[in-house]
């Protein structure tokens, strides 16, 4: 309807100067006219130009008076020729109509508000307010004084009206041609492809988003880290067991059985199966010895080592449990130097907050060779972290039951403008390595860090619960960019 009207009109006339007027004259809905104009403009059948007008619109109160009449007229009509006591008149009318109506009617000198009676002063009144409101509703222009008065009574408010003026466009035709979007087999068979007009390709249209799986930021960062380890010649350790025995997680690492980390407040112990099935007995004996009375020039801890404690199953609290298994396995064969790494999940019975979850991922690296020294550890750490994009490092003496010396690793964070702790490191103690059976001159340098910390820094996430767990926004996971480290 609207389309025919517009194209038809432009066939003989130069311009539709006002879409609003055009719509009213033809009894068309202006919104529909606007939509058609936009579409015709898009296909360049017409050229449309915006026009704006300040218009007046009726308020709810104004709208109501177009139906009921203005309060002053309602009041006037409620007064019988002989007059009426004020109280009675008040009862006949709505309180707001009475209040506004009596003020307005008195102002216009239509009524006399006497002590006894309210009476008419004239016989007939015109409802000008209602008529003006109806004219405004109809889009007619009325004079400024009247507008002012209605505005003051809050019966109308200003509103910007938007429409178009329309001229023929370069593709103008009295009727829109149907354009073909596809060349079909039928078009070819019938030969009508020669006459068809094809829709132009829109090369800047966006393609459909591809529905596919998405890598979580932790996986992207892990992928990059694996690349760094591999480039540095490290082999991956098998970390496919979340359940570990206390023995490999703690005892083999020379961590005494009364150490606070071995408490159920810090460690998740398993109820079923609660204990491990088997351990290498002769090695267990040597570990017991070193804890109780020492050896290899160590004094040991001097306490009663209990097998039941070592047998207890737990969810591994660090991937160093895997490193201890690997080093033990290495010691069972003629010695060869090794560089190992792992990146996998660990569990700690911790209170959850912005920076802690009860499970997270650890990155761990170790180098095992004859005659390594602390300088080697510093060198490897500098190399490793500079590949992560962190080249300003500082080290702080620390304590781990299984390393001596031990160092916390700090990196200068340009964004935060301060030093942040990024990991922990050290040289595994002889009390850990010698009972395994490694040659005496073999040293192991090692370090560990969380995968979450660098991922949060790289992706600008400040609450760990936005990164991992059930509160994570999947939309964000889909949109995250790929990770590039050290660039
Ligand atoms: N296992 C240590 C931790 O959980 C990290 C570490 C690994 C420290 C290797 C020293 C050597 O924090």
Q: Are 78 and 87 in contact (CB under 8 A)?
A: no
What are the tens digits of pLDDT across the range 451-482? 998 888 888 888 899 999 888 998 888 888 88
Q: Which of 137-146, 378-387, 393-402 has the lowest mean pLDDT?
A: 137-146
- The residue whose CA is least distant from atom 5 of ligand 1 is 448
> How many other CB atoms are found less than 10 A from the CB of residue 418?
9
What are the tens digits of pLDDT across the range 205-243? 998 888 888 899 999 999 999 999 999 999 999 999 999
Q: Are 421 and 446 in contact (CB under 8 A)?
A: no
As for ligand 1, residues whose beta carbon falls within 6 Å of it are 318, 320, 364, 400, 403, 424-426, 446-448
More confident site: 87 or 364: 364
The set of long-range contacts for 148-154, using a CB threshold of 8 Å and a minimum separation of 24, is 150/56, 150/62, 151/56, 154/59, 154/61
- The residue whose CA is least distant from atom 2 of ligand 1 is 448
CA 296/CA 286 separation, integer angstroms: 11
pLDDT at 469: 87
- The residue whose CA is least distant from atom 6 of ligand 1 is 448
**CA separation, residue 451 to residues 78, 104, 225, 266, 377 (Å):** 83, 77, 9, 20, 20
Residue 290, token pair as written in the block: 């070193």
CA 362/CA 219 separation, integer angstroms: 13
Mean pLDDT confidence for 1-8: 92
**CA separation, residue 225 to residues 272, 367, 377, 410, 436 (Å):** 35, 17, 18, 18, 29
* Distance between Cα 321 and ligand 1 center (Å): 10
What are the tens digits of pLDDT across the range 45-74? 999 999 998 889 999 999 999 999 999 999
* Distance between Cα 307 and ligand 1 center (Å): 24
pLDDT at 1: 84
pLDDT at 481: 84
- The residue whose CA is least distant from atom 8 of ligand 1 is 425
Residue to mutate, 234, 248, 320, 395, ligand 1, most ligand atoms under 8 Å from C-beta: 320
pLDDT at 306 over 80: yes
Index of the ligand 1 atom closest to the CA of residue 424: 8
């Amino acid at each position: 309807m609207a389309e025919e009207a517009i194209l038809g009109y432009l066939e003989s006339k130069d311009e539709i100067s006002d879409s609003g007027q055009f719509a009213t004259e033809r009894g068309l809905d202006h919104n529909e006219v606007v939509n058609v104009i936009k579409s015709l403009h898009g296909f360049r059948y017409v050229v449309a130009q915006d026009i704006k007008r300040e218009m007046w619109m009726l308020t709810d109160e104004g709208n109501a008076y177009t139906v009921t009449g203005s309060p002053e007229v309602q009041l006037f009509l409620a007064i019988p020729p002989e007059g009426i006591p004020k109280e009675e008149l008040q009862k006949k009318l709505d309180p707001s109509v009475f209040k506004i109506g009596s003020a307005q009617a008195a102002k216009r000198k239509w009524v006399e508000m006497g002590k006894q009676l309210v009476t008419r002063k004239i016989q007939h009144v015109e409802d000008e307010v209602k008529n003006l409101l109806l004219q405004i509703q109809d889009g007619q222009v009325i004079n400024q004084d009247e507008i002012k008065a209605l505005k003051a009574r809050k019966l109308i408010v200003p509103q910007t009206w938007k429409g178009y003026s329309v001229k023929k466009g370069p593709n103008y035709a009295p009727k829109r041609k149907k354009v073909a979007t596809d060349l079909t087999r039928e078009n070819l068979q019938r030969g009508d492809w020669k006459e068809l007009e094809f829709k132009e390709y829109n090369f800047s249209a966006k393609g459909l988003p591809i529905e596919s799986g998405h890598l979580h930021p932790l996986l992207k960062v892990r992928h990059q880290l694996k690349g760094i380890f591999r480039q540095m010649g490290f082999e991956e350790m098998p970390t496919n067991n979340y359940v570990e025995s206390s023995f490999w997680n703690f005892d083999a690492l020379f961590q005494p059985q009364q150490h606070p980390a071995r408490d159920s407040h810090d460690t998740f112990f398993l109820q079923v199966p609660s204990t491990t099935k088997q351990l290498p007995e002769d090695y267990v004996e040597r570990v017991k010895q070193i804890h109780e009375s020492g050896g290899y020039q160590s004094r040991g801890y001097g306490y009663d080592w209990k097998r039941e404690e070592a047998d207890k199953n737990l969810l591994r609290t660090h991937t160093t449990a895997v490193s201890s298994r690997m080093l033990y396995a290495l010691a069972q064969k003629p010695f060869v130097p090794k560089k190992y790494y792992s990146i996998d999940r660990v569990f700690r019975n911790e209170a959850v907050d912005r920076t802690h979850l009860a499970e997270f991922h650890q990155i761990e690296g170790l180098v095992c060779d004859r005659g390594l020294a602390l300088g080697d550890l510093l060198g490897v750490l500098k190399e490793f972290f500079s590949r992560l994009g962190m080249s300003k490092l500082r080290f702080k003496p620390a304590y781990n039951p299984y390393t001596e010396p031990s160092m916390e690793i700090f990196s200068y964070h340009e964004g935060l403008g301060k030093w942040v702790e990024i990991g922990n490191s050290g040289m595994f103690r002889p009390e850990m390595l010698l009972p395994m059976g490694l040659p005496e001159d073999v040293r192991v340098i090692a370090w560990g860090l969380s995968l979450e910390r660098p991922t949060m820094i790289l992706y600008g996430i400040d609450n760990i619960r936005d990164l991992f767990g059930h509160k994570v926004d999947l939309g964000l996971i889909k949109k995250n960019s790929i990770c590039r480290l050290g660039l």
